[in-house]
Amino acid sequence: MAAYGGGGLGLVREFAEALGKCASLQERSSRALCLRLMAKELGTPPAVREYDVAHYFLLELASVCLESPRTMRALLEALTAFHEDVTEIRALTENLLADPALPVDEVLSLRPLLDGFAPPNLPALCRRAVGNLRPVPPYPDAWSAFEGLSRLNARADGLPPTLAFVEYAAAEAPHDRRFALRSWNDGQAQALSLLTELRNLRQQAAYAGTPEPGNAYLVVRLLRREEPGRYLLTSWRHYDPDDPDAWRPRQERSVEVTLAEAEREVERLVFEADEHWARDADRIHVEFLLGSDDLTLPVHRFRTELDSDPVSCLSVGYCVVVRSLQRSRTPRWHRAWEQRWTALRDTPELARPLVVGGRRTEDPRSGDVSGLDARLRGDRSVGCLVLSEPPEGSGEGAQEALVALRCGVPALLWDTRAARDLKTPQPVVHSDDSVYGLFRNLSGLREAVTELRTEAHGGSLNGRDDHPGHHLVLLWDDPTRPVESPQPLTGPDQGVDGR
């Protein structure tokens, strides 16, 4: 197998000379300890023999490390434990851990599987494959992307970007091609002693879902004014196709409105966004940043095309959610919030929903807010909480929402109808199977709720009002996308009952 960076005795000698500057690798006893530390990182002792002459040992250690990025990184971790200055070695490692020179026959066998294959989210697949290494240019198809990425160094997990890209491309490919791509990838990873790293990435790719190119955001904040029924409406817009992971919202003007005027102002903002992003944005998200006393404002029922007949529903054409102004302005809640969000984003397969008063054995009982608080504080895997009723006033729904916000739960879901308004004693969100179906993939909950709302408006007139898509509200709170500077809560946004 070719060594990383192209192999060759010159690379072995260069790396051995850099290692020779580490005092811990000069004595036999400290060298043995270094190998034991590496074995803890690798799970097995590295195949390096001891020699009486330190230089011989360093040559063999360098040779073994150049054949496996895992072994090289284990060595760097061990040297760091010895408090060695590994700055020069790390810099050299970045150059040596270039993408492996794959056998020509293997590359030729891959080309028919990628040539001409151009999924619409190809740029996003490339960005995922390189991690945080560097920006990548646009490529016309998967084969061109593979060739371009082959010139980049290994990722932080040791995988070459080309193997990572093939894995992400396989997740998007039809069944037969997916099987062939993963089989090819397994062969290369096994030859490079990276099979464990590849399998970890495969699990992440399977649950990551399709990357969403061109997501644009319109955030609307409604602040209560002293005069009853009036609000200060402020909006922010964000769209950056060149850096989709960045968050640079631009604030628009603020206007005082009534709730009816707010609907028309949101229509104007949405129309402007549509015109501005017409050729670029794949999906526009409309997010309402609301205080604790206003989470039940019927923003999910806002309409567009108000001057025509028929009008349109905002939450059908756009991904509409609410956000918590109270939590964004309460810094002491942010640690738990960020921790749960990171878990939901990075390992969505491990995140679980809870339904207060639900029919499953793991669901918490309604009416026991203290028990819910203890449950959420002790279980960080909960990514979504379904409330027993709308979060109004000082009712149970409001208390459940407050507990969930304090404990960092990033997503809340509720039925806007109170139990007294229903024909059945339980809200639709508890009894309808289509709602439980939303929980199969919490990372795609926004899109799933939007689809349910679209289904509700497209159904028959007879059952339309009873469809859960008409009555669901989703609070979806991403702590990495703030729109205002941190500030203390004052006035009507000071929580529930002043808490």
CB contact set of 59 (below 8 Å; sequence gap of 6+)? 12, 13, 16
Decide: 473 and 429 in contact? Cβ < 8 Å: no
Band of residue 487 on the pLDDT scale cut at 50, 70, 90: very low
Query: Which is nearest to 201 in space by CA: 182, 176, 174?
Result: 182
Residue 338: pLDDT over 90: yes
At 5, list the tokens. 């960076």
Query: Which is nearest to 473 in space by CA: 271, 253, 301?
Result: 301
Total number of residues shown for the chain: 499
Q: What is the pLDDT of residues 360-389, one digit of tens each?
A: 888 898 889 999 999 999 998 999 999 999
Could you tell me which residues are beta bridge partners of residue 475? 322, 412
Q: What percent of the chain has pLDDT over 90?
A: 33
Could you tell me which residues are beta bridge partners of residue 413? 386, 474
Residue 474 and residue 449: Cα distance in Å, rounded? Answer: 8
> Could you give the count of Cα atoms lying within 13 Å of 366 in the half-sphere of its Cβ?
19
At 131, list the tokens. 């991690």
Residue 24 and residue 194: Cα distance in Å, rounded? Answer: 28
For residues 40 and 243, the model is more confident at: 40
Residue 305 and residue 17: Cα distance in Å, rounded? Answer: 72
- 185-189-190 Cα angle (round to 5): 115
Residue 27 and residue 205: Cα distance in Å, rounded? Answer: 44
Query: Which is nearest to 406 in space by CA: 467, 336, 473, 358?
Result: 336
At 91, list the tokens. 């810099």
For residues 43 and 416, the model is more confident at: 416
Can you tell me whether residue 228 is helix, strand or coil? coil
Q: Does pTM top 0.85 for this prediction?
A: no
Long-range contacts of 486-492 (CB under 8 A, 24+ apart): 486/329, 486/331, 487/329, 488/329, 489/326, 489/329, 489/330, 491/224, 492/224, 492/291, 492/293
Q: Residue 409 has what pLDDT?
A: 97
Lowest mean pLDDT among 126-130, 396-400, 493-497: 493-497
Q: What is the pLDDT of residues 428-439, one digit of tens each?
A: 455 455 666 677
Q: What is the pLDDT of residues 212-254, one digit of tens each?
A: 446 889 999 999 999 999 999 999 999 876 566 678 898 988 9
Residue linked to tokens 């997503």? 411
Lowest mean pLDDT among 93-107, 194-208, 235-249, 304-318: 93-107
Taking residues 296-319, what's their average pLDDT?
Answer: 91
Q: What is the pLDDT of residues 145-169, one digit of tens each?
A: 888 787 677 777 788 888 999 999 9
Residue 387 and residue 463: Cα distance in Å, rounded? Answer: 24
Mean pLDDT score of the chain: 82
Could you tell me which residues are beta bridge partners of residue 221? 234, 289
Can you tell me whether residue 433 is helix, strand or coil? helix
Residue 208 and residue 428: Cα distance in Å, rounded? Answer: 29
Long-range contacts of 221-226 (CB under 8 A, 24+ apart): 221/288, 221/289, 221/290, 221/325, 221/483, 221/484, 222/262, 222/288, 222/289, 222/290, 222/291, 222/294, 222/297, 222/299, 223/291, 223/325, 223/493, 224/291, 224/293, 224/294, 224/491, 224/492, 224/493, 225/256
* CA 92 to mean position of chain CA atoms: 32
Residue 33: pLDDT over 60: yes
Band of residue 191 on the pLDDT scale cut at 50, 70, 90: confident
Lowest mean pLDDT among 67-76, 164-173, 289-298: 67-76
Taking residues 398-409, what's their average pLDDT?
Answer: 96
Decide: 143 and 116 in contact? Cβ < 8 Å: yes
Residue 77 and residue 485: Cα distance in Å, rounded? Answer: 39
Decide: 355 and 386 in contact? Cβ < 8 Å: yes
Q: What is the CA radius of gyration of the chain?
A: 28
Q: b or e along 60-88 (b: 16 or more beta carbons within 10 Å of the residue's beta carbon)?
A: bbbbbbbbbbbbbbbbbebbeeeebebee
Q: How far is CA 52 from CA 5, 24, 58, 256, in A?
A: 29, 15, 11, 82
Decide: 338 and 344 in contact? Cβ < 8 Å: no
For residues 85 and 399, the model is more confident at: 399
Taking residues 270-283, what's their average pLDDT?
Answer: 79
